[in-house]
Amino acid sequence: MNTKRSILFWLSVTAIALLSIYTKNFTISSSLPRFTTTSIKKVIEKSGNEFLSFIRKIFNYLRTGHWVTCDASKWKSPLIAKYGVTLVLTVDQKGCGKFTTFQKAVDAVPDNAAKPTLIIVDSGTYREKIEIKKTKSNLIVQGQGYQKTFLTWNDTAASSNGTIYSYSVGVFAPKFFAYSISFKNTNPAPPTGVAGKQAVALRIGGDQSAFVDCGFYGYQDTLHADVGRHYFKNCFIEGSVDYIFGNGRSLFENCTLNTVASGPGINGAVAAQQRASLAEKTGFSFVNCKIQGKGLVWLGRAWGVYSTTVFIKTSMTEIVAPEGWNNWKDPSREQKVFFGEHACTGPGANSKSRVKYGKQLSLAEATPYMDISYIDGKQWVPHDIDDI
């Protein structure tokens, strides 16, 4: 129905509802029709989400003085056909979607679904702590651009009883894909050396997660690649200290690693990988990436005894410290870690002053880390994942 007719219709429904409440509590002339809440409920249920959407528009109008005109075209996504999506849920703060919060949309996703569900999120900043439980598998999320759609919260290690719980968004379900959306922890930059200020934007605790054209914003411990296999393509990742960390097996392709470290001397690190034994098939590989920003940082620190981090064909500015790598103040780890570089460029890639346990890899040594085979991607990452 058009806007004017819709307004008249829902104003009528609202009037009936008010009359129903009135007649329930007061005795009026028997000549007037009596409407029950049951009849109102039937009208609302029949109209579905259109009624809730209309109510949201009224509140938005009262707040802003502007009537929202919804653009239904934003809910049409090429991902629907690409992945054979069977259910589309929409999120919009202005009342044009089925939900106004992201978490409510996630809660509506069927448990253990065999077919993908798509959540499309309109532009805006959605301030809510979000948990995607392990039962919400086969979920795809699409924003309107990583500089337009943000999921944010502001917990820290101190406020949430541990770094691993400080995430703004926690993904624990397998087969989670995200497109064109940002994850952000808005807690401000911590003073140097202050404890408890780690603040995670995204924690990934599920297998087979992929992120295309996404953003990740924070300072210390921005992106927690906790467990599982992960793929990042054309993403923007920002932080200061260990801003990509965890024990996942993660491949980063064509990503921008934007450092915002500050303070005297070496004041941050890009990666802190946690591999603890040779039996674990985990590590971080960065291919065709770009390291930029400010500060002076290590490429990686040996969080795990067998920490594994590789940079391949990556452009490095002068913010990369000449020694390149750090042993986590434990010299015994130098014999066990695997820290490597291959065909990297830029002033930060100068290997002359690198620590001895940082390797300059041959092509043969670098090849296992160079493409999606590193994360068994041919089994689960579409070859045209970024073609939308």
What pLDDT, in 10s, does the model give residues 258-297?
999 998 999 999 999 999 999 999 999 999 999 999 999 9
User: pLDDT grade, residue 388 (50/70/90)?
Assistant: confident
Domains identified in the chain and CATH numbers: 3-47 (no CATH), 71-190+197-219 (2.160.20.10), 240-388 (2.160.20.10)
**Coil, helix or strand for 209?**
strand
Q: Report which of 120, 137, 129, 132 is spatially closest to residue 181, judged by C-alpha positions.
A: 120
pLDDT(42) > 90: no
* Cβ atoms of residues 154 and 105 within 8 Å: no
Catalytic residues: 242
Per-residue confidence (pLDDT) for residue 193, from 0 to 100: 78
* pLDDT tens digit sequence for 191-239: 887 899 999 999 999 999 999 999 999 999 999 999 999 999 999 999 9
Q: What is the value of pTM for the model shown?
A: 0.86
The sign of the CA dihedral 68, 72, 73, 75 is positive
* Cβ atoms of residues 125 and 164 within 8 Å: no
Total residues belonging to the chain: 388
pLDDT(38) > 90: no
Taking the CB of residue 140, how many other CB atoms lie within 10 A of it?
22
* pLDDT tens digit sequence for 130-152: 999 999 999 999 999 999 999 99
**Coil, helix or strand for 48?**
coil
First to last CA, the chain: 31
Average pLDDT, the chain: 89
**Coil, helix or strand for 360?**
strand
Per-residue confidence (pLDDT) for residue 23, from 0 to 100: 45
Per-residue confidence (pLDDT) for residue 69, from 0 to 100: 83
Q: What is the mean pLDDT of residues 31-40?
A: 46
**Coil, helix or strand for 116?**
coil
Taking the CB of residue 42, how many other CB atoms lie within 10 A of it?
11
* pLDDT tens digit sequence for 342-379: 999 999 999 999 999 999 999 999 999 999 999 999 99
Strands in 218-289 per DSSP E? 223-225, 229-233, 236-239, 244-246, 249-253, 256-260, 268-273, 283-287
User: pLDDT grade, residue 19 (50/70/90)?
Assistant: very low
